[in-house]
Amino acid sequence: MYPMTINGQSVVTDAGHDVPDPATGEVVGQAPLCTAQHLHDAVAAAQIAQKIWAARPDEERRDACRKMSAIISDNAEELAELLTKEQGKPLKTMGAEFEVGGAAAWAGYAADLEMPVKILQDDDTARIEQHRVPVGVVGSITPWNWPLLIAVWHIVPAIRAGNAVVIKPSPNTPLSTLRMVELLNTVLPAGVLNCVTGDGHIGALMSEHKDINKIVFTGSTATGKNIMQSAAGSLKRLTLELGGNDAGIILPDVDPKAIAEGVFWGAFLNMGQTCAALKRLYVHNSIYDEMCAALVDLAANMPMGHGLDPATVVGPLQNPMQLNIVADLVDDARAKGARILCGGARAGGTGNFYPITFVADIEAGTKLVDEEQFGTALPIIRYDDVEDAIAQANSLDVGLAASVWSSDADAARAVAERLEAGTVYINQHGQIAPHVPFGGIKGSGIGVEFGQEGLEANTDIKIYNIAKAG
């Protein structure tokens, strides 16, 4: 059993659960099933450790970020292999090695962030200073798609800002987080970073826990709403990174072959199990067939298999539930008269494999367009009037990212300005960076991660208002 870490100690439980390899069903390892008492212990340890941590010199917290980055890099091989085994993503090709590399990069970036004191007024009457102070104990709840990267996005800025953290990974992919937290604890004081494992019940207990001051959550919109409700009782600070259904609009002036690869990976990074993946593609009628053909050609050359096989480019979906969602959405589209250009049925044999699937001649009102598929199927919607494409792109109650593709910079910009999303890409989709704030609007979330704003989301403002003798 992979141990939890509570107050710097390794903790296992009598009860545990198996974590299967999504490609084979074989057991990768066991995760503990934490009790309410374990959670209370972790929060109590975090509360004590946080006070000491926040009182340490800032340089020590910077240094901790550098050390966390280094320890992830030093153990990249082990972490990446474990990630492939439990999550399913290929080891290579923007898969597990890419994710672990990103985790190290994001951790290192946090070291150089500053939280300068702002002098708001300094005159004969008063000196007024604005400081950023840690919120206290941050509870982090993560999903199964990018378990290590998202864990680092939650953990490192919180610790950099002087908080202590209790993280709960998804029960689908707990092992890599348990191991990473164990490693990170070798460079952190006991209690600053704790990890407990369990299902949504433990997440709900965290959301209502009176001694957790903030929840940072990445996952589905439905769970985000539940968390917001449970958090209301203690007025927790919240950062919610939720689901999306990103639209991409292809203007008629593009060369379909030239953009096909960018569109393909915008949609299918991590087998489409990426919050800001392209999930609805609107293509102008004049190039519709050519665009479809270019994408289908690419799909034909993407070997699917176990993530540890170096030839694999497309791995399995992470869990049977997600496989069923994708299969049902494609079946529904087919039943409504849409055209399946490639894929369109589960692969035979073991594992949660569903091949890359493009679905043409499909319209709004079909579930594959209106709902987030989070998998290896992309609906391609034909349009004649760009006004109609923009209206359809904006018609849903989510707004994580969107993209517009054109060889005319002005035309692309004009469409981009009208798309309702936290990030609008031009001629690319899904790129993120540690210095660029990222978050959703509408049902896609509250707040941002990354950059200065992401760091400040782990703080409260404290004002010192000092009278001057008259």
Minimal distance, residue 54 CB to ligand NAD, in Å:
26
Name the residue nearer to ligand NAD (CB basis): 152 or 259.
152
- φ, ψ of residue 123 to 5 degrees: the values are -140, -160
Residue type for 281, please?
L
Check 86, 99, 241, 449 and give the catalytic one. Answer: 241
Q: Which of 5, 50, 145, 423 binds ligand NAD (CB under 6 A)?
A: 145
What's the closest the beta carbon of residue 181 comes to ligand NAD, in angstroms?
14
Binding mask 375-414 for ligand NAD (x = CB under 6 A): -------------------------x--------------
Q: Which stretch binds ligand NAD (CB under 6 A): 198-206, 347-355, 405-413, 460-468?
A: 198-206
Q: State both tokens at 306.
A: 């176990």
CB of 455 to ligand NAD, least distance (A): 17
Q: Which is nearer to ligand NAD, 259 or 402 (CB)?
A: 402
CB proximity list for 108: less than 8 A, separation 6 or greater: 65, 66, 69
**Among residues 171 and 379, whose Cβ is nearest to ligand NAD?**
171
Which one among 98, 144, 358, 450 touches ligand NAD, defined by CB under 6 A? 144
Q: By CB under 6 A, what part of segment 219-248 binds ligand NAD?
A: 219-220, 223, 226-227, 241-244
Q: Is 241 known to be catalytic?
A: yes
Binding region for ligand NAD (CB under 6 A) out of 59-67, 110-118, 199-207, 376-384: 199-207
Rounded to the nearest whole angstrom, what is the least distance from the CB of residue 130 to ligand NAD in the complex?
29
Which residue number, 256 or 443, has a Cβ lying nearer to ligand NAD?
443
Distance between terminal CA atoms of the chain?
67
Using the minimum distance from each CB to ligand NAD, give the nearer residue, 220 or 234: 220
Nearer residue to ligand NAD within complex by CB, 188 or 448: 448
Instruction: Put the strands of the sheet holding 339-342 in their side by side order.
Output: 339-342, 357-360, 377-383, 278-284, 246-250, 401-405, 423-426
Can you state the angle between helices 147-160 and 58-74, rounded to 10 degrees?
A: 160
Q: Which residues contact 326 (CB under 8 A, 6 or more apart)?
A: 317, 354, 357, 373, 374, 375, 376, 377
| CA gap 302, 93 in Å, rounded | 11
Would you count residue 199 as binding ligand NAD (CB under 6 A)?
yes
Q: Which stretch binds ligand NAD (CB under 6 A): 47-55, 202-210, 309-317, 339-347?
A: 202-210
Which of the residues 261 through 290 are near ligand NAD (CB under 6 A)? 275
For residue 338, the minimal CB distance to ligand NAD (Å) is 23
Compute and round to an integer the Cα radius of gyration of the chain: 23
Give the footprint of ligand NAD on residues 204-223 (CB under 6 A). Answer: 204, 207, 218-220, 223
Q: Which is nearer to ligand NAD, 170 or 392 (CB)?
A: 170
Is residue 143 within the footprint of ligand NAD (CB under 6 A)? yes
Interface mask toward ligand NAD for 63-82; x: CB under 6 A: --------------------
The answer to whether residue 374 forms part of the interface with ligand NAD (CB under 6 A) is yes
φ, ψ for residue 254, nearest 5 deg:
-85, 160
Interaction residues for ligand NAD, span 426-465 (CB under 6 A): 440, 445
Cα gap 322→71, rounded to integer Å: 32
d(CA 24, CA 259): 34
Instruction: Please tell me whether residue 175 binds ligand NAD under the rule CB under 6 A.
Output: no
- Measured in residues, the chain has a length of 470
Q: Which residue is nearest to ligand NAD (CB)?
A: 203
Nearer to ligand NAD, 47 or 226 (CB): 226
The least distance separating ligand NAD from the CB of residue 293, rounded to whole angstroms, comes to 29
Candidates 19-27, 101-109, 196-204, 342-350: pick the segment binding ligand NAD (CB under 6 A). Answer: 196-204
Catalytic residue among 99, 275, 292, 449: 275
Which residues form the interface with ligand NAD (CB under 6 A)?
A: 141-145, 168, 170-171, 199-200, 203-204, 207, 218-220, 223, 226-227, 241-244, 275, 372, 374, 400, 440, 445
Task: Please list the active-site residues.
Answer: 241, 275
